[in-house]
Amino acid sequence: MPVSKIPFLIYGAYGYTGELLTRLAVEKGHRPLLGGRDEAKLKPLAQELKLPYMAFTLTQEEEVNKALQQVNVVIHCAGPFSKTAKLMVYACLRNKVHYLDITGEIDVFEWIAAQDSLAKKAEIVLLPGAGFDVVPTDCLAAYLKTRLPDAQHLEMAFYGVQNMSRGTALTMLENMHQGGMIRENGLLKKVPAAYKTRKIDFGPTQKEAVTIPWGDVSTAYFSTGIPNIHVFTAVSTGALAFIKLSRYTGKLLTTPFLQNTLKKLVESQIKGPSPRQRQQGRSYIWGEVRNTRGESKISRLQTPEGYSLTAQTALLAAELLEDGKVAPGFLTPSLAFGPDFILQIPGTLREDVQ
**Which pLDDT score, from 0 to 100, does residue 234 have?**
86
Residue type (1 letter), 184: E
Mean pLDDT of 192-203: 90
**Which pLDDT score, from 0 to 100, does residue 299 have?**
98
Cβ partners under 8 Å of residue 37, min gap 6:
55, 56, 57, 78
| Neighbouring C-alpha atoms within 13 Å toward the C-beta of 182 | 20
DSSP 307-350: HHHHHHHHHHHHHHHHTT-SPSEE--HHHHH-GGGGGGSTT-EE
Backbone φ and ψ of 172, nearest 5°? -60, -40
| Neighbouring C-alpha atoms within 13 Å toward the C-beta of 8 | 30
Strand pairing of 180-184 and 71-76?
A: unpaired
Q: Tell me if the pTM is above 0.75.
A: yes
170 and 266 in contact (C-beta within 8 Å)?
yes
Share of the chain above pLDDT 90, in %: 73
Does residue 173 register a pLDDT over 50?
A: no
* Distance from C-alpha of 141 to C-alpha of 225, rounded to nearest angstrom: 10
Mean pLDDT of 15-22: 96
Q: What is the distance, to the nearest Å, from the Cα of residue 274 to the centroid of all Cα atoms in its chain?
A: 20
**Which pLDDT score, from 0 to 100, does residue 169 have?**
46
Angle at 329 between CA 328 and CA 330, to 5 degrees: 135
| Neighbouring C-alpha atoms within 13 Å toward the C-beta of 261 | 7
Per-residue confidence band for 162, with pLDDT thresholds at 50, 70 and 90: low
127 and 116 in contact (C-beta within 8 Å)?
no
Torsion of CA 310, 316, 321, 323, to 10 degrees: 170
**Which pLDDT score, from 0 to 100, does residue 93 have?**
98
Task: Compute CA distances 10 → 98, 265, 319, 321, 342, whole Å.
Answer: 12, 27, 13, 14, 21
Domain architecture of the chain: domains with CATH? 6-132+308-345 (3.40.50.720), 135-305 (3.30.360.10)
Backbone φ and ψ of 21, nearest 5°? -65, -45
More confident site: 313 or 241: 313
Does residue 1 register a pLDDT over 90?
A: no
Does residue 77 register a pLDDT over 50?
A: yes
Torsion of CA 23, 25, 26, 32, to 10 degrees: -110
Range with lowest mean pLDDT among 48-52, 87-91, 139-143, 179-183: 179-183
Cβ partners under 8 Å of residue 126, min gap 6:
89, 92, 98, 99, 100, 112, 115, 116, 119, 329, 330, 331
Q: What's the full length of the chain, in residues?
A: 354
Per residue in 61-75, pLDDT (tens digit) is 999 999 999 999 999
328 and 123 in contact (C-beta within 8 Å)?
yes
* Distance from C-alpha of 87 to C-alpha of 65, rounded to nearest angstrom: 12
Per residue in 225-258, pLDDT (tens digit) is 999 999 998 876 555 555 655 655 556 566 665 5
β-sheet bridge partners, residue 232: 157, 211
| Neighbouring C-alpha atoms within 13 Å toward the C-beta of 142 | 21
Cβ partners under 8 Å of residue 26, min gap 6:
49, 51
Q: Give the other-Cβ count within 10 Å of 86's Cβ.
A: 15
Q: State whether residue 270 is helix, strand or coil.
A: coil
Rg (C-alpha) for the chain, rounded Å, is 20
Per-residue confidence band for 185, with pLDDT thresholds at 50, 70 and 90: very high
